[in-house]
Amino acid sequence: MVKTKELTKSAITSETLSKIVIEGMQEKKALDIVVLDLRGLKGAVTDFFVICSGNSDTQVEALMKSVEEQVYKLTGQDAWHKEGITNREWILLDFVDVVAHIFKKDRRKFYGLEELWGDAEITFINH
């Protein structure tokens, strides 16, 4: 668990940021959290993808808010870019070095990010 004392931006590594994103997801009982480490892949646009699922539109929105709040509380950072907030089936929160993907459960399999980035080092997060 990342300490609740606010971290300075210079102290934030992409690995630390990915852990903060995970904590935000766990706070709202995200399902099937997976971390894809893209640092060793050519052409990767970020260091980490953190992927999770929610059972409903409401949970997907709650997961998004929890991740945003946790990252802001510990780093002072807002997401650089957000997508999918209106339909709440796949929300993307781009923190530059870490991108959070929050899927409605049935949509995650359809898009198959884990398969698309199959060469990445994959870590499954247990609750």
Domains and CATH numbers, the chain: 13-124 (3.30.460.10)
pLDDT in tens, the chain (127 residues): 665 455 555 568 999 999 999 999 999 999 999 999 999 998 889 999 999 999 999 999 999 999 999 999 999 999 999 999 999 999 999 999 999 999 999 999 898 888 888 889 999 997 5
Do you know the residue count of the chain? 127
Q: Chain centroid to CA 35: how far?
A: 8
d(CA 124, CA 127): 10
d(CA 93, CA 109): 19
Q: What is the pLDDT of residues 29-42, one digit of tens each?
A: 999 999 999 999 98
